[in-house]
Amino acid sequence: MRYHKIPDETVRRLPIYLRGLMVSADQGCEHISSQSLADSVGVDAWQIRKDLSYFGDFGTPGVGYNIEKLARGIKKTLRLDAIRRAVLVGVGDLGSALLAYPGFRMYGLDIVAAFDADPKKIGKTVNGVEIEDAAKIGTLRQRDISLAIVAVPRAAAQSMVDELVAAGVKGVLNFAPCKLVVPKRIKVITLDIAMELARLPYYMPRVEQMSET
Amino acid sequence: MRYHKIPDETVRRLPIYLRGLMVSADQGCEHISSQSLADSVGVDAWQIRKDLSYFGDFGTPGVGYNIEKLARGIKKTLRLDAIRRAVLVGVGDLGSALLAYPGFRMYGLDIVAAFDADPKKIGKTVNGVEIEDAAKIGTLRQRDISLAIVAVPRAAAQSMVDELVAAGVKGVLNFAPCKLVVPKRIKVITLDIAMELARLPYYMPRVEQMSET
DNA sequence: CCATGTGAAGGTATTCACAGCC
DNA sequence: GGCTGTGAATACCTTCACATGG
């Protein structure tokens, strides 16, 4: 293996592989070939091998990959071994669902704090996390939390992010349907759910619809 | 303008442009330049012009784009003018949040039906939509609904999708963290929220973490 | 003999620079 | 002068084919 910059598209796929490895590990497997993993996650085998080749030699020719070792390697590459604590801002319908969502655990991620501006919500506990006053986001600085999830209405998103950045947050998963302006050192991934649904019709077969022409 | 296949990446960006156009329209603007739109949505101006050039001549040199006309053109390209009704399967925390989510309206999309397997939920009404028995998904065939949103646990996702496909659904937005097997004519977009959060640390500056090395 | 890792080829998307039109 | 639309250049990613190693 030689030095390579890891392509963004590879980084996008790594969590998929991790998910597939967990499933195989649960089934008691110790090793897995790129082909088997490919079948279970829906990515081509050569793509998996190429992706993994960017950051380490994990496989054994003739045998495959040691699941435990490969999972550790991927986690390290994604820096999931060091960063594990996240804060949620905005405990509305979507925010509450995220607090209850068990899926983060698979990647070793935990939501350990939550903020909201609504006085009726402050002080309540949802899924073991107490909702704090959004005006106190500054207190995050002392709490070793560098990941934030933003689930507030569009109008509030930018100001919340400004405060999060001031409080030392380094990465943001944004559910508000808008662009967020942040310093270059901060990474924002925006996930606009309605937008994903909106691009689905483009790929659907062009049959005449009964409603409207 | 000449014939071009529209790149997938362009299709991914079109809803962003649509969102930006709505905002400008709300502000009373009639025309907008690629540069202004670029500033408001966070995509480069030449990228926008290139994307739009794949499917129509919308702009006027020296003036810019007519917002109303461009929005209609994008909607038509994405086929949002014909497909508007969606069904939700799985009314848990996330599903309920999606039912309440106002963002789909912006794209002319409506969730008009909901299914769940839990007898305690069946018959209840959430946000004006009555929850029906998941065993009755087959009744969709008569209801002119071709889009589905799947928000059930991983273990139930594949069988729900099988039923949806049998009932005539053509496109699926899947929130379950797994690959779904469907006939080639069906389009599935999987949106794994935990996975998005998991790739965030990779892009964050490599400072020493206080917790664990 | 089987499965990995990787150069090389091929394809797709981004970026540039500018001709053409209002 | 200002702004669009687009060929050409560049960068990036995917796919292939096979040498290499257990």
The DSSP-derived string for chain B is ----PPPHHHHHHHHHHHHHHHHHHHTT-SEE-HHHHHHHHTS-HHHHHHHHHTT---EETTTEEEHHHHHHHHHHHTTTTT--EEEEE--SHHHHHHHH-GGGGGGT-EEEEEEES-TTTTT-EETTEEEEEGGGGGGGGGTT--EEEE-S-HHHHHHHHHHHHHTT--EEEE-SSS-----TTSEEEE--HHHHHHTTGGGS--PPPSS--
State residue B4's pLDDT score: 79
Q: Cα–Cα distance between A150 and A92 in angstroms, integer?
A: 11
State residue A2's pLDDT score: 67
Fold designation for A84-197: Rossmann fold (3.40.50)
The list of chain B residues with pLDDT below 50 reads 209, 211-213
CB contact under 8 A, B16 and A201: no
Pick out the nucleotide with least CA–C1' distance to B2.
D6
Domains A3-77 and A84-197 share a fold: no
Of B78, B94, B197, the CB nearest to A198: B78
Q: How far is A90 from chain B (nearest CA, A)?
A: 13
Give the best residue of A200, A203, A208 to mutate against chain B (max B CB count within 10 A).
A200
CB contact under 8 A, B202 and A77: yes
Assigned token pair, A140: 């995050």
**Domain ranges (residues) in chain B:** 3-77, 84-197
Q: State the nearest residue by CA to the C1' of D4.
A: B61
Fold designation for B3-77: Arc Repressor Mutant, subunit A (1.10.10)
State residue A110's pLDDT score: 97
The list of chain A residues with pLDDT below 50 reads 209, 211-213
Of B144, B194, B201, the CB nearest to A79: B201
Return the bridge partners of A59, or none: A65
CB contact under 8 A, B211 and A103: no
State residue B207's pLDDT score: 62
In this predicted model, what pLDDT tens digit does every residue of B96-122 receive, in sequence order? 999 999 999 999 999 999 999 999 999
State residue B205's pLDDT score: 83
Contact, B50 CB vs strand D, < 7 Å: yes
Contact, A47 CB vs strand C, < 7 Å: no
State residue A83's pLDDT score: 85
The chain B residue lying nearest A94, using CA atoms, is B97
State residue B104's pLDDT score: 97
State residue B83's pLDDT score: 84
The chain A residue lying nearest B206, using CA atoms, is A79
Q: Which residues of A touch B172 (CB under 8 A)?
A: 200
Contact, A9 CB vs strand D, < 7 Å: yes
Q: Cα–Cα distance between B103 and B107 in angstroms, integer?
A: 8
Of B170, B199, B201, the CB nearest to A12: B199
State residue A73's pLDDT score: 97
State residue A212's pLDDT score: 42
State residue B209's pLDDT score: 45
Contact, B190 CB vs strand D, < 7 Å: no
